[in-house]
Structure 1
């Protein structure tokens, strides 16, 4: 029996053709950026699934949809900028779609989201780095459009997320493997969603290696911007660590930007990296590749793209369907900012 065209989505077509939904969108919009072979494969999938595209490509392009909203703690932090690039890539390929931005901030993100949602309906919402509380979950379920969570998970919504505890453990295990036993952590402020799991991964790696936990080696900067995920906070924290009588031989910064600040402090004070101290980051920002920073790759741009593709697919679907629960695989990227313990 042929699948019902009323329940077939662009996501189904992309899966059947073995392409991204952005490629399906290009075919639907007669773009010249698709090869003849791929175009035919997509058209065959459309015919086979009896897909009727007007609900997605046509409604988004014709402004029948109220538009797509992206809510995240910051639009200037390099981490979130990378995610936003991936989101914009998809929306650019889908067509002329309204994009609304909600800056959640880091102080009271739930209140910021509630204020944004009270202003009117959106066609779909991509919510980043905010695990829904009971109150927020209720507000999201009242929305007329679909919701995709990025960097958090909830069974009520499509969720694409990272295991920060596992990522932090990967980072610290790398430093332990280089012979370091005195390893510091530059953490974020405690209200950051990522602070606790990255601390948990750090302590778990030490415990597994039989290295005693030293609370004096867990520090954060005074700067509150971005919950401490900043170059300034990284430099301030590094100053504290380098002032210790028994300095660490390796520093794990809970974000790349903190690592940039720590490295800057070391350079300005004649401390050689990695000869005297290894520095490890977390994110794999574009700049990290040029600075040769060892880090944990969160694949932010690709993750943003995947989340946006899922949201567009949901907006095209007439049914709810099974919720997506996808963990993004984290990868260690070893570069020249880390070396064997002195």
Structure 2
């Protein structure tokens, strides 16, 4: 446990000592988590009243009469996937006197950056996008003394809005199987991406349920590692690998729309027609995809960003108590980039 300063304002550690609980339990009570028994909650609340403990966030709000800043921490501020969600965040903050801070974590080593950002203690609330809560980040977030909402990941003590990536990949692959395709390529992200494994699982499950044998040579990733492999360049590189196979696939499921864009361009460059020679399905349903007529699994990122930020603002205002855990919907929008397999 870190050393506590002597004297001065009571800290969360003082409350934990007084109540005889861990600091994570105090944090759960402060954040109105349902994962605390009534007896323990009462003991912590008694300690808070006895010590006249005020979390830093509450003290700032009482002093300033308003909340000044919220932060969004995300793996990439330039990826189109996150840009769509940020548009929803912006809509939620429209006409509100609140500053928005962005913390670009990077996709390869995000946790050290997140720890440094949280150590500064400069925000009243945090929306964390697409980052699993693990390791040292867990205690740091639970003890932040400010509301935290997760978008694209889950934790039992925090508000969360998330998608089932395995189900989305299953939906896309099943559609292609229903169109008569049996050799279906999967353009995956880098193996260390948190979405790569569940989307591969969904692809495999769809094949298994259709009694189609899994062929590992049909699962490829591009060499370009930026954005964890979710890029046009990586999509083009992966499509080239698939089209170089002696027995080419008749359809390709790309784990993101931007990969699908690159794959489509590479197919065109190699004289392969879409969808006549090969069908392509993406994942995300970015705004651009609707104009390109790309079949894609829609995640509704704009709405998700707005809903998650609305929840964070509700937490700040004190209007919400019970934790929420919301699975966001996925739909498949079929367009002209895909069609029946040609015999």
**Shorter-chain TM-score tier:** 0.7 to 0.9
Counterpart CA distance in 2 for 1:82 and 1:323 is: 25
User: C-alpha distance in 1, partners of 2:74/2:65?
Assistant: 24
Cα separation, 2, equivalents of 1:272 and 1:333 = 21
Report the equivalent of 1:10. Answer: none
SS in 2 for 1:212: coil
For the pair 1:322 / 2:318, whether they are aligned, the reply is no
Structure 2 Cα separation of the partners of residues 115 and 63 of structure 1 = 28
Equivalent position SS for 2:241: helix
Distance 2:105 2:203 in 1: 28
Q: Which residue of 2 aligns with 1:32?
A: none
**Is structure 2 residue 111 aligned with structure 1 residue 110?**
yes
Separation in 2 of the partners of 1:71 and 1:101? 6
Cα distance in 1 for residues equivalent to 2:68 and 2:97: 12
Residues 120 and 66 of structure 1: is their aligned pair in 2 closer, same or farther, counting only changes over 3 Å? Answer: farther
Q: Specify every segment of 5 or more residues in structure 2 that has no aligned partner in the other structure, as ranges.
A: 1-56
Q: How far off its partner does 1:134 sit?
A: 3.8
State the TM-score, normalizing by the size of structure 2: 0.80
Question: Which consecutive unaligned segments of at least 5 residues does structure 1 have?
Answer: 1-54
Query: What residue in structure 1 maps to residue 128 of structure 2?
Result: 127
* Segments ≥4 residues shifted beyond 3 Å: none
Q: Measure how far apart 1:63 and its partner are.
A: 7.5
What CA deviation, in whole Å up to 9, does each residue of 1:124-171 have, x standing for no partner?
000001111142110011112100000001111000000000000000
Counterpart of 1:3 in structure 2 is: none
Cα RMSD for the two superposed structures: 1.7
Equivalent pair of 1:106/1:227 in contact (CA under 8 Å): yes
Shift, 1:185, TM fit: 0.1
Q: How far apart are the structure 1 equivalents of 2:89 and 2:137?
A: 23
Q: Distance in 2 between matches of 1:117 and 1:126?
A: 12
Alpha-carbon shift at residue 65 of structure 1 (Å): 2.5
Tell me the residue number matched to 2:35: none
How many equivalent pairs are there? Answer: 283
Contact 2:68 2:97 survives alignment (8 Å): no
Q: Residue 335 of structure 1 corresponds to which residue in structure 2?
A: 335
Could you say which residue in structure 1 is the equivalent of 2:21? none
